[in-house]
Each structure stands twice: as C-alpha cells, then as structure tokens.
Structure 1
Amino acid sequence: MTPADLPRHSVSVAGVIADEQNRALLIRRRDTGRWEPPGGVLELSESIHDGLRREVREETGLEVDPVALTGVYKNMKRGVVALVFRCEAIGGELTTNPEVTEFRWATPDEVRALVVEAFAVRVLDALKTGQVAIREHDGTNLV
C-alpha cells in the first residue's frame, strides 16, 4: 500500500459567535437547508485561525477574533475532524451569499430544536465555559 492509498482525514473549523444574551449565531446552508454554526474546511496552506476567519467571513460577512477553542469533533463516517472556537465579532455586517440563505440568533433551547445533534453540541459546548469537549459523531448523532 502506498501513502496515496492510505485513508485521509480533513480538518474543518467553525466559529460560534455569541451575543450578550448568550444566543449563538446560526447560518442556514443553501445546499442542505440545515442550521449550523459558520465554518468549513481548512485549506492546506492556511493556519487554523486564518482559515477560521476566512470561513466565518465568507459565510456571514463578519470579521471575528477567535477567543477560545471549545471543542474537537470527529465525523466517524467521513473522517472529518472539526475544531470549534468561540469567537467575538469585531467588524463586518451580516450578508447572505451563495452558501447561506439566512441567519438566526438562537438560544440554547432553540439550538437543540433547530440543529441536528452533531452540530448542536458544538454550539452548546461553545456557549459553556470550561474544558474543551472532544466528541465523535456519525454526521447526525453522537456516537
């Protein structure tokens, strides 16, 4: 087996932006209609924080400052490791785009109702303070 034949992981980043009432900013993805925190796959040549800032800016129009790593999550079916950060919005303006149809500020209870478990837990973990969460999921549910 050559190195090219070995299974590969990809790394994604997501930013949870919270307001003064501890509500999280969610995006509705145009391709799936799902509510999620903004984020996406890191490019090979970029740093983790640069990729996080780029993805959040592309999906929301906001400039953010990463405050803290709040969780590490692995999609066991797809081999995607996601790094989730609590972020502070420092500029920009919410703007829909080809990837996002709308935005919503959601309370923890609304996150539980609107977002599939594998993505809701990322937001809920980020809204808490404390240890970094490390969890596995199948793309929808925790495993």
Structure 2
Amino acid sequence: MPKTDYLNDPAAPRANSLVVAVAVVLRDSEGRILLIQRADNGLWALPGGAQDLGESLHDAAKREVKEETGLCVEIESIVGIYSDPNHVIAYDDGEVRQEFSICLRGSVIGGELKPSVESTQVCWFTSGELDDIEIHPSMRIRIKHGLESRQPYIG
C-alpha cells in the first residue's frame, strides 16, 4: 500500500489513526548503518514497521528487521520516541496516521542480508554516504540520533 509522508506541511491531510511503529538502528563492525530502500515509496529508511496486536515492541522490532532485511537481531537500547503531530503518513486506502514510532538500537546475531517485498535493497552505509541518498527528513532525525551516543530522544 503506497504511502506519502508529510512533515510540517499545512496541506497535509488530517490524521485519523495512531499506530505504534518501530524502527531499528543497526551498525556493523565498521560502524556502518543498515538501511533499506522501501518498496512503497522508494526512500531509504531504517528497517521497521507497525507493531501487531498481541506482540511486544521487542518482538515487533525483531520481526520487522527479519522481514525486511533477512537478519536476526537482538535489541539493546532505545534511541527515542517520535510522536510529532506535524508528521502524518497518508495511505492509499484513506488511512492517515499521526507518527508514533519508537526507535531502538540493536545488533545483528545471524541471518543473511536480502531484500523482501517491503524492501527493494538492503545496504550498509557510512555516515558520509547518507547525504547522497534519498531519506525522508523524519527518518534522518532517527538516523542522526541513532548514530549519536546520547540519552533517548522524546518528542
């Protein structure tokens, strides 16, 4: 289901739902960060997605990473909570979600790197390469916070 992200856009549609989502910052031994190219909008992003009913946030994070990247991970810490009401995500079916995403930090413990129906590419990037790829501004904030060693962001 294609989507359109709006951030601080007065023409954005009004939110009609709030769904808990998770994103995961993963770094390799060289300090590179793992990103997926999303199949629904073509932008690069941290792996992640919506939490399902009956699932813990921890399990949702592990499931989403496995689905989108082929990798198995352990979750280690929280990067931040992102709930900006000026960031809404409009889907083709009429749903317009207000952002509510919890970003976590994890480490790879197994699996094989491969794209899925949700991700057309899965790649490791150095911080210097991030300026050269298309990333939504709201995702850039999470990536920046994930690369920094700091207290969890709440906003």
TM over 0.5: yes
Partner-residue secondary structure (3-state), 2:115: coil
Bigger drift between 18-27 and 49-58 goes to 18-27
**How far apart are 1:86 and its partner, in Å?**
1.0
**How far apart are 1:23 and its partner, in Å?**
1.3
1:66/1:88 contact within 8 Å kept: yes
Of 80, 83, 103, which residue of structure 2 is paired with 1:84?
103
Bigger drift between 15-24 and 61-70 goes to 15-24
Of 109, 114, 124, which residue of structure 2 is paired with 1:95?
114
**How far apart are 1:20 and its partner, in Å?**
2.0
Partner-residue secondary structure (3-state), 1:19: coil
Segments of 5+ residues of structure 2 without an aligned counterpart are 1-15, 89-96
In structure 2, relative to structure 1, the CA distance for the partners of 1:80 and 1:116 (3 Å cut) is closer
Q: Name the structure 1 match of 2:127.
A: 108
Bigger drift between 17-26 and 50-59 goes to 17-26
1:9/1:81 contact within 8 Å kept: yes
**How far apart are 1:75 and its partner, in Å?**
4.4
User: Equivalences for 1:1-143 in 2 at 5 Å?
Assistant: 8-76=17-85, 77=88, 78-114=97-133, 115-135=135-155
Identity %: 37
CA distance in 2, matches of 1:24, 1:67: 15
**How far apart are 1:79 and its partner, in Å?**
1.6
- Please tell me the residue identity of whatever aligns with 2:153: A
How many residue pairs align between the two structures? 129
Q: Name the Cα RMSD after superposition.
A: 1.5
In structure 2, relative to structure 1, the CA distance for the partners of 1:87 and 1:49 (3 Å cut) is same
CA distance in 1, matches of 2:72, 2:60: 12
CA distance in 1, matches of 2:30, 2:62: 23
Segments of 5+ residues of structure 1 without an aligned counterpart are 1-6, 136-143
Bigger drift between 73-82 and 98-107 goes to 73-82
The one of the two structures with greater contact order (alpha-carbon pairs below 8 A, sep at least 6) is 2
CA distance in 1, matches of 2:144, 2:39: 23
